[in-house]
Amino acid sequence: MLSFFKDYKTFGIVFLILSVIIISIIYNTLNVYQPLPIYQPTMVSTELVDSTIQYKRKYHKIADFKLINQNGKTITQDDYKDKIYVADFFFTTCQTICPIMTGHMAEIQKAILNDDDVMLLSHSVTPEIDSVAQLKRYALEKGVVDSKWNLVTGDKKQIYELARKSYLAVKTFGDAGPFDMIHTENFMLIDKKRQIRGFYDGTNEEDIQKLLNDIDILKEEK
């Protein structure tokens, strides 16, 4: 009888060890690292993409830019070199979705405050209204940390082309005039190679959490 229980105990230990190994293998298989997609113009709604690049299927990157931030400093692509960043389009007098979007950007800022690899970039779609002084007032009101988050204004044509040809993020404003645009609620996640790796609803808390998780995924890339 004692021999039976001894053999059963041995079997039980072996079975337990094998079970742990099998469960670990299954867990690791189901949690294999999955890279984020690299978005191309053909993958995005045509209403957000300039007609000249709607056919483009590969090699899409954010173009060079030269804009002015809330402190009157010139901001270019070099300020975001080797950085992951979140971009959006807004305007300071917007009373609809912008306050929610800005609040969520502030939430992201808090999460990445001590992370030197990640920054934020918000473009005004009404640069004729959003002067440096106006952006500065807005930045102070919203708790913008200058080292992490640039609010930029500048030439309207350049902002329009960045929005439609680089970030694939705004709609045209009918026949109101050249370079007039309607921003969306989209936040774009940009990698260190200036590629779009994700679109998120900047008014949706669940999407913000997904964005933060995707930043962590992106940081695993070599």
Binding site listing for Cu cation = 94, 98, 183
Residue 119, H or E segment: strand 118-124
Known binding-site positions: 94, 98, 183
Q: Cβ–Cβ contacts within 10 Å for residue 105, how many?
A: 23
Measured between alpha carbons, how far is residue 144 from residues 5, 148, 179, 188 in Å? 68, 8, 28, 18
Q: Which two tokens stand for residue 39?
A: 């978005």
Contact by Cβ (8 Å): 190, 62: yes
Distance CA 219, CA 213 (A): 10
Q: What are phi and psi of 113, to 5 degrees?
A: -55, -35
